[in-house]
Amino acid sequence: MTHQKPDARTLIVSARDVVALLPMSECIDAMTDALRTLALGGAILPLRQIVRMPGGRKAFGLMPAALTNPQALGAKVITVFPDNDATPYDSHQGAVLLFELDYGRLIAILDASTITALRTAAVTAVATRLLSRPESRTLALIGAGVQAETHLEAISLVRPIDAVRVWSRSGTRAHDFAAKLGAAGTRITVCETAREAVTGADIVCTVTSSREPVVCGEWLAPGTHVNAVGASLPTARELDSEAVRRARFFVDRRESTMNEAGDFLIPKSEGVIGDDHIVGEIGELLLERPTIAGRRSAGEITVFKSLGLAIEDVAAARSIYDRAVATGAGTWIQLGGLRDAHP
């Protein structure tokens, strides 16, 4: 009887390989499956653990999760340094660690910055496909960083976007964004104010590092869908209380929102809304028999509050790993994990 040689190799996946192995369309499909699994009760998802650095803006986070479909176990370990927006470094840096379920082996270490950029936009696309009007054509991007780029790509896959407006506190970044993305054939208008970008837009995405509102409810036309993406602290928000009050409010996960989302918690503390203002989780709309209603009329304003969930990172890592194994991409190293390798 022969025994197969044990394998304790670990796959290293760089930022470039992440992009090659997880096209946005496939990432949207992977996020759809992960959010549906969450709604079905097939996920173990503790609240993220955050270490705040002195001053409060810089953070170190641990986000563990397990999924039944796809079968995946792992964690994202990441730093969030918002002030990096003005430097050559990403604001989110770290690694996604993927483990297999038979022996608990660490099977992959993947660049977290790129996975975060892709999966965040892909989840937004899932929500936009479910909640925005199908004929939506005008997209307003509030913020002009990495997330603005991936959100433009993702939303263009689910809605027939033919006009893009962008605003950033740094006008230079907005113009750079327009020059870069406009060269690909997309019609992009740089706006002088956030209000100019939002007024009359069909879809609005806030992808900033702001702690104060950058979108006001009075600017939102009937039928607008808003994706509030950038803020992930109880004390930070991108939407003012009126924007939240006017909208049917959907979330990626109720428990996370009740503990971490300033876009919800601040209006609640003001008495503007209550807990029942959360219509439900976006994954509930993906069930064969949805337990909540999505958009109910063309004139309704809808908001999707995205915090980012570890199941999204782990599901993305699983998809990347499977394709890397199939195609031979990435770099394999021997970290350990076998008993006879221990000192």
Asked if the model's pLDDT at residue 27 lies above 80, the reply is yes
Token pair for 339:
């008993």
- CA–centroid distance for 301 within its chain: 21
Q: Which of 286, 324, 303 is nearest to 251 (CA)?
A: 303
Confidence of residue 26 (pLDDT cuts 50, 70, 90): very high
How far is residue 206's CA from residue 230's CA, in Å, rounded to a whole number? 6
pLDDT score for 269: 98
Please state, in angstroms and rounded to a whole number, the distance separating the CA atoms of residues 323 and 220: 42
Q: What is the pLDDT of residue 89?
A: 85
Looking at domain 132-305, which of 3.30.420.40, 3.40.50.720, 2.60.40.420, 3.40.50.300 is its CATH number?
3.40.50.720
Q: For the chain, what are the domain ranges?
A: 9-115+310-341, 132-305
pLDDT computed for residue 92 by the predictor: 81
Q: Is the torsion defined by CA of 326, 332, 336, 340 positive or negative?
A: positive
Report the Cα 74 to chain-centroid distance in Å: 17
SS3 271: coil
CA atoms within 13 A on the CB side of 156: 16
Query: Could you tell me what percent of the chain has a pLDDT over 90?
Result: 83
Percent of the chain with pLDDT over 70: 96
What's the chain's Rg over C-alpha atoms? Answer: 20
Q: How far apart are CA 94 and CA 194, in angstroms?
A: 31
Residue 149 · residue 19 · CB < 8 Å: no
Q: Which residue has the tokens 């956030």?
A: 194
Q: Residue 251 above 60 pLDDT?
A: yes
How far is residue 64 CA from its own chain's centroid? 16
Give strand pairing partners of 44.
66
| d(C-alpha 62, C-alpha 43), whole Å | 17
- d(CA 100, CA 318) in angstroms, rounded, equals 10
Q: How confident is the model at residue 55 (pLDDT cuts 50, 70, 90)?
A: confident
CA 67 to each of CA 34, 39, 71, 108, 320: distance values in angstroms, whole numbers, following the listed order: 8, 11, 5, 16, 15
Residue 10's nearest CA partner among 98, 70, 77 is 98
The answer, yes or no, to whether residue 213 has pLDDT greater than 70, is yes
Closest CA to 198 of 243, 250, 139: 139
For residues 40-48, average pLDDT = 96
For residue 290, the SS3 value is: coil
Count CB atoms within 10 A of the CB of residue 277: 16
CATH 2.102.10.10 matches 9-115+310-341: no
| Number of Cβ atoms within 10 Å of the Cβ of 177 | 22
3 state SS of 201: coil
Q: How confident is the model at residue 335 (pLDDT cuts 50, 70, 90)?
A: confident
Greater pLDDT, 70 or 38:
38
pTM of the entire predicted model: 0.94
